[in-house]
Each structure stands twice: as structure tokens, then as C-alpha cells.
Amino acid sequence: MDLYGFGKTPHPNYPLYIEDYARGVEEVIAETGGGEVVLVGHSFGGRIAMRLAAKCPSVVGLVLIDSAGVIPRRGLGYYLRVGGYKLAKKLHLKTKMQGSPDYAALSGAIKGTFVNVVNESSLPDAKKIVAPTLLLWGSEDRDTPLYMCRKLQRTIRDCEEVVFKGAGHFSYLDRPDRSYLLIKAFAESV
């Protein structure tokens, strides 16, 4: 399925939050007949899947693949850069564009969505998840590093992890056969 701002589904002219995406996925599930579901979410999709699993009893299983949702560890340098940028902006000094390349490539309402989404921790949702959960992760993931997997594994009650050695952020593409078999076996077990 396409999410707002991805594929052929347009992004509205206002910023969205995780809850908006979750509501959209709920609508698609309802349109396809509803019932019990096993959700699979990769990266940003993991945030959405965690939100749904935290509040929908129809989610009977959850697979998170290199999921976003854990706020990254940030050092002093990060906070100094952010503070300096905000101070310069407040003093109306000329500032160089700040932020990630992903952020810089966006414009309009989707830029606001990006800010809303990346600044929201999914750990409150993770704490509420009761459905059995499988984490699939690449050991070399640089976008959502392995420590994020371990944090989710400690937070979600009924949770197992499988780490693909040498795989990156798209671990399911790096190890497609193994990913498929693990997801299939997991879905059949719940």
C-alpha cells in the first residue's frame, strides 16, 4: 500500500503525524475485510505498525524490520549545533541550512510531516504492545543502528530478534529468502 506522500498517494497540504498514517492503514485494513492481522513494517512503516499494534486488538502479530521509532543517541556536538542555529535564527543572523539531507530534499507540508515524525518516540507505543513481535535487523544498519533493535527488544513484552550479519538498513532485501521464511513461519505461529 502507498502511504501519504509516497508512491501514488498524494500528501495533503498540511503536516501529518504518525496517528494520521495509522488511521490511513486502519482504513485500508477495514476496506479489505478487517479481522485479525499480522503487520509488517520497515523503517518508517515500523512506527506506524507499532502505533496500530499498541491500540488495535486485531493486530495479533507484529514484524518490525530495521524499524524507526527510537530517538537516536545524540552527543554534545549535536546540541551545540542545534542551539547555535536557533540562537542565530532568533538574532536574525544569516544561517546556513541545517538538517539531514533527507530533510533538505523536502518542501512544503511534507517537510513539516518529517519534523513531526522524526521527533516522536515510538517507545510509548512499544510499551503497550501485547502481540507477539519479531524484530528483523541488519547488523550493519546505519539508519536505525542495532542498539535501536535492542532497545525495542527490551521494551516490547513478547519479542524476539533476528540479526542478519552483514546486512544493512534494507536487511529484508539483503537476505530476502531468509526474511520471507522467518516472516511466513512467524505469521503461521500467531
Amino acid letter, residue 122:
S
Contact 18, 30 (CB under 8 A): no
Contact 140, 167 (CB under 8 A): yes
pLDDT top residue among 82 and 121: 121
> If pLDDT is split at 50, 70 and 90, which confidence band does 37 have?
very high
What torsion do the CA atoms of 104, 110, 115, 116 make, to the nearest 10 degrees?
Answer: -170
Residue-level pLDDT at 99: 63
CATH number of 18-189: 3.40.50.1820
Cell readout for 110 is 511534507
> If pLDDT is split at 50, 70 and 90, which confidence band does 98 have?
low
The mean per-residue pLDDT over the stretch 5-10 comes to 87
How many other β-carbons are positioned within 10 Å of the β-carbon of residue 152?
25
Residue-level pLDDT at 86: 76
The answer, yes or no, to whether residue 131 has pLDDT greater than 90, is: yes
Residue-level pLDDT at 82: 66
The answer, yes or no, to whether residue 58 has pLDDT greater than 70, is: yes
Query: What is the domain partition of the chain in residue ranges?
Result: 18-189
